[in-house]
Amino acid sequence: MVQRILFNVIICAFLCLHIFFYGCGKNSKKGQKAPTPAPVTVAEVIRKAMPIEIRTFGTVEPSETVAVKAQVSGVLKEIKFREGQDVKKDEVLFIIDPVPFQNVLKQAEAALSRDKIQHENAKKETKRQDELLKKGLTSQDAYDQAKTAADGLGAAVKANEAVLENAKVQVGYCTIRSPIDGKTGKYLVDQGNLVTANETTLNTINQIKPIDASFTVPEHNLGEICRQMAAGKLKVQAFLPDEPEKTESGILTFIDNSVDRDTGTIRLLASFPNENGRLWPGQYIKLSLMLSVQQNAIVVPSNAVLTGQKGTYVYIIKSDLTAETRSVKVARQLDDWAIIAEGLKAGESVVAEGQQRLGPGTKVEIKNPSAKTTPVNQ
């Protein structure tokens, strides 16, 4: 009897547990909701002309640099400019005391005047001796002596003319003018000092309008650069660290005649008008050398491209609003854009943000259904 009662209790308990769990399972399935779509931002795959360029760094250099030196020795009498002043070609910079050189000039003028007078008298005497010789009133020797004296004084006149011209040049050297348009540096010699000809540097002038930028590129780019430069001028953009949104435009003007074997690079030089004076000698700047333009390139935002074990891929959005992975081959990147060589076609939609919640077949909610990518500015 006791065993039968115990058996009935066990059966009842089993049935109760079965009904409880079975009922809960059905209710939980009935109340289960579909997964929430993952919110994503999409971008359209577009075709666009994209520049092919080399980006590197370089150093700004003055297009011309002149160390101003005196060509005569003397006392620096006057400085005619301010430190850091912009000067024009032939503008007076320094005055060296001209008095000693003016005195030499006066001596040369006096000596020339004396010799000219003597030469004129000698020519008259030669003419008189010639007339007397024709009349037989003088000897050939007297005529020859008169002619020799006249010729000697004529040579002395020419020598003194050269001395006079040199004296004028020396006086001219006392006024030192700027040989180029440019910006002056700090005074290297103060007024009142004695300067030595061709030794003492008085100032350094840098030409900054136009100005150059020196940079290097890998040697494997040399062939393409030479081909493009032969076809026309190559544009170079300069980006300043403090104003990256503003650029200076220039052209490539020089390719070095040898490759640096230690670094495997070739040195190039670009020239910029620099009308606003934003580029300054010694600056370290970012440069972009444009080689050509790729027409109809397939372009997506660079943040749409992911990297996995099998390479680069993107999430594309299908018509049923599910995500699907697509392997792609990236040709190169430019700013915030990726140029796709294989795997996508224009008009498709790729996920630009929100990929971390996606997997193949994941339902998505597009946060920007009307968004279009913005082409790269040319």
- CATH at 316: 2.40.420.20
Q: Which residue, among 312, 296, 89, 279, has the nearest Cα to 179 in the 3D structure? A: 89
Band of residue 312 on the pLDDT scale cut at 50, 70, 90: very high
pLDDT tens-place string over residues 259-278 = 999 999 999 999 999 999 99
pLDDT number for residue 25: 47
Q: Rounded to a whole number, what is the largest CA-CA distance in the chain?
A: 192
Domain membership of residue 31 (yes or no) is no
Instruction: Supply the pTM of this predicted model.
Output: 0.70
State which of 294, 328, 344 marks the end of a domain.
294
Band of residue 236 on the pLDDT scale cut at 50, 70, 90: very high
State which of 122, 149, 173 marks the end of a domain.
173
Helices (H) and strands (E) in the chain, counts: 4, 20
Domain membership of residue 43 (yes or no) is yes
- In sequence order, what are the beta bridge partners of 260? 265
Band of residue 24 on the pLDDT scale cut at 50, 70, 90: very low
Mean pLDDT, residues 329-345: 91
Whether residue 58 sits in one domain with residue 42: no
Residue 76 has pLDDT above 90, yes or no: yes
pLDDT number for residue 16: 54
Domain membership of residue 86 (yes or no) is no
When divided into structural domains, the chain yields a total of 3
pLDDT number for residue 2: 47
pLDDT number for residue 15: 53
CATH number of 122's domain = 1.10.287
pLDDT number for residue 371: 61
pLDDT number for residue 182: 95
Mean pLDDT, residues 115-133: 90
Domain membership of residue 189 (yes or no) is no
Domain membership of residue 190 (yes or no) is no
Whether residue 156 sits in one domain with residue 119: yes
Structural domain including 282 reads 54-62+208-294
Q: What is the C-alpha separation between 51 and 179, in angstroms, rounded?
A: 41
Domain membership of residue 30 (yes or no) is no
Residue 250 has pLDDT above 70, yes or no: yes
Domain membership of residue 191 (yes or no) is no
**Which of 13-17, 50-54, 371-375 is predicted least confidently?**
371-375
Band of residue 319 on the pLDDT scale cut at 50, 70, 90: confident
Mean pLDDT, residues 224-240: 91
Q: What is the C-alpha separation between 171 and 99, in angstroms, rounded?
A: 9
Mean pLDDT, residues 154-175: 95
Q: Which of 90-94, 139-143, 325-329, 347-351 ranks highest by mean pLDDT?
A: 90-94
**How many residues belong to the chain?**
378
CATH number of 267's domain = 2.40.30.170
In the chain, what percentage of residues exceed pLDDT 90? 65
pLDDT number for residue 129: 87
Chain-wide mean pLDDT for the chain?
Answer: 88
Using alpha carbons, list the distances in angstroms from residue 143 to 118, 146, 154.
17, 5, 17
Q: What is the C-alpha separation between 296 and 71, in angstroms, rounded?
A: 62
pLDDT number for residue 78: 96
State which of 244, 275, 294 marks the end of a domain.
294
Domain membership of residue 243 (yes or no) is yes
